[in-house]
Amino acid sequence: MIEAAVHLAAQPRLDTLVTELHTESRRLRTDYAGVAWIGDRPAAGSGMAGPDYTRRAVDAVLFLPDTHWYDVDTLDDVEVQVTAGLLQVAPTARQSQGLVGALAEPTVDFFEHPEGEPGVGLCLQLRGEIWSNLGVSYRVSVLCRREALLRVGDTDTEDGADTDTEADVDVDGQVSAA
């Protein structure tokens, strides 16, 4: 079984109320951002991930660590935008960049709460095949009616602990939280 670890590190979530240009209705805009480290996390001192040149499949469906929980019945006019960019390719032993492989276009979808609580949350899907460790920055913007929000998502704790989530993802897309 081929697998690659995926580690999500969220940035602060931004929640704003916006007015639509054409309808002048008030809507909730939430921006989620962070980094998905695929393979190993980078070293704290150098910022570089190790040169693990092994062909690995990536098919990760991961809840955003700070996702809000939404009422699925009021998401009929929701608009979602996702962007992602490659941050790092680990260097080879000769200090050149290694092979990347390929990652398909990232997608975002709403999934039911994993513990059966009411509402749906956002999941980021990354899939492809990689040859080295890499980082992918992501930004997801959600625009919806204010009443669609059931519960506010988690944020950083006061003691400075982060909201990293980690999962091992196998070639079939099965996710197990670590």
What is the bridge-based pairing of β-strands 101-103 and 79-89? Answer: unpaired
**pLDDT tens by residue, the chain, 178 residues:** 346 778 888 999 999 999 988 889 999 999 999 998 887 777 777 766 666 667 778 888 888 999 999 999 999 999 999 998 877 665 666 655 556 777 788 899 999 998 999 999 999 998 888 777 778 899 999 999 999 999 999 875 333 333 333 333 333 333 333 3
- Residue-level pLDDT at 176: 33
- Residue-level pLDDT at 16: 96
Residues in Cβ contact with 63 at an 8 Å cutoff, skipping those fewer than 6 apart: 111, 114, 121, 122, 123, 165
- Residue-level pLDDT at 89: 60
Give the CA distances from residue 45 to residues 49, 131, 134, in Å, rounded to whole numbers and listed in that order: 11, 23, 17
Residue 17 tokens, joined: 């109320």
- Residue-level pLDDT at 31: 97
8 A C-beta contact, residue 136 and residue 38: yes
All domains of the chain, ordered by start, with CATH? 3-177 (2.60.40)
Q: List residues bridging with 22 in a β-sheet.
A: none
Q: Which residue has the tokens 């993802």?
A: 169
- Residue-level pLDDT at 2: 45
130/4 Cα distance (integer angstroms): 9
77/143 Cα distance (integer angstroms): 9
Burial 127-147 (b: 16+ CB within 10 A, else e): bbbbbbbbbbebebbbbbbee
- Residue-level pLDDT at 164: 38
146/161 Cα distance (integer angstroms): 29
Q: At 97, is the secondary structure helix, strand, or coil?
A: strand
Q: pTM value?
A: 0.78
